[in-house]
């Protein structure tokens, strides 16, 4: 909010877009049967007494369409990185070659594809809830502004319509992103 006497529509849009950005990053971690470095980026590795993203312990690359590799920089972190990949629920089994982890990306079974679409739908629903929470914050602010006499009933109604219009656009965008991800996951 820019000040206490107005509703900052740009801030509401920014917060709603943030929910969509989070959704896209969660989707990038969902496996689709093709190797992509974004698959390993969300995995956290126990390193130096804390949790670090995979990209901060090694170089992730895609040497072949169905193969990922991670060149671990510190020899002492190889087993921790291997363990993190195995426990990531992505169904990946790394092969250790010195400080290089080679990770074959297996084909997805029909059952696994259906599970992944369910996970995608859960991520999308979380994003919709986040967008609706931002909408609720905006509506609460409008009610407070009207109650305090800073805006009139007509202005309240006009801005409420604007907030609802933005919310509908964002929910539509989430549905579009979800349908694209569903199509990508179910593609054999």
CATH T-level topology, domain 34-104: Gyrase A; domain 2 (3.30.1360)
For the segment 34-42, the average pLDDT, to the nearest whole number, is: 76
Inter-residue contact 137 to 18 (CB < 8 Å) = no
Rounded CA-CA distance 81/5 in Å is 51
pLDDT of residue 139: 93
In residues, how long is the chain? 188
Provide DSSP, 68-125. Answer: EEEEESSGGGHHHHHHHHHTTSS----EEETTEEEEE-PPPPHHHHHHHHHHHHHHHH
Alpha-carbon distances of 104 from 22, 68, 159, rounded to whole Å:
27, 6, 52
Sequence-separated (6 or more) residues with CB below 8 Å from residue 123: 23, 26, 27, 30
pLDDT tens-digit profile of 134-164? 999 999 999 999 899 888 889 999 999 999 9
For the segment 95-109, the average pLDDT, to the nearest whole number, is: 86
pTM of the predicted model as reported, rounded to 2 decimal places: 0.67
pLDDT tens-digit profile of 42-94? 788 988 889 988 888 999 998 887 888 999 999 999 999 999 988 887 778 89
pLDDT of residue 174: 94
Mean of the per-residue pLDDT values of the chain? 87
At 2, is the pLDDT very low, low, confident or very high (cuts 50, 70, 90)?
very low
pLDDT of residue 97: 92
**Domain segments of the chain: what residues?**
9-27+109-186, 34-104
CATH T-level topology, domain 9-27+109-186: Topoisomerase I; Chain A, domain 4 (1.10.132)
Phi, psi of 63 (to 5 degrees): -75, -25
pLDDT of residue 169: 95
């Amino acid at each position: 909010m820019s000040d206490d006497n107005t509703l900052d529509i740009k801030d509401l849009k920014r917060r709603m877009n943030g929910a969509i950005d989070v959704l896209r990053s969660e989707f990038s971690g969902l496996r689709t049967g093709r190797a992509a470095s974004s698959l390993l980026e969300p995995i956290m590795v126990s390193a130096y007494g804390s949790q670090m993203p995979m990209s901060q312990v090694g170089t992730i690359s895609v040497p072949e369409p169905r193969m990922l590799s991670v060149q671990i920089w510190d020899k002492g972190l190889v087993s921790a990185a291997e363990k993190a990949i195995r426990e990531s629920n992505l169904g990946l089994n790394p092969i250790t070659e010195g400080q290089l982890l080679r990770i074959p990306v297996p084909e997805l079974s029909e059952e696994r594809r259906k599970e992944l679409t369910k996970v995608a739908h859960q991520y999308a629903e979380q994003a919709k809830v986040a967008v609706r929470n931002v909408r609720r914050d905006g509506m609460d602010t409008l009610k407070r502004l009207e109650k305090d006499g800073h805006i009139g009933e007509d202005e309240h109604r006009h801005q409420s319509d604007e907030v609802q219009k933005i919310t509908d656009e964002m929910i539509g965008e989430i549905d579009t992103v979800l349908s694209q991800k569903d199509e990508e996951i179910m593609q054999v």
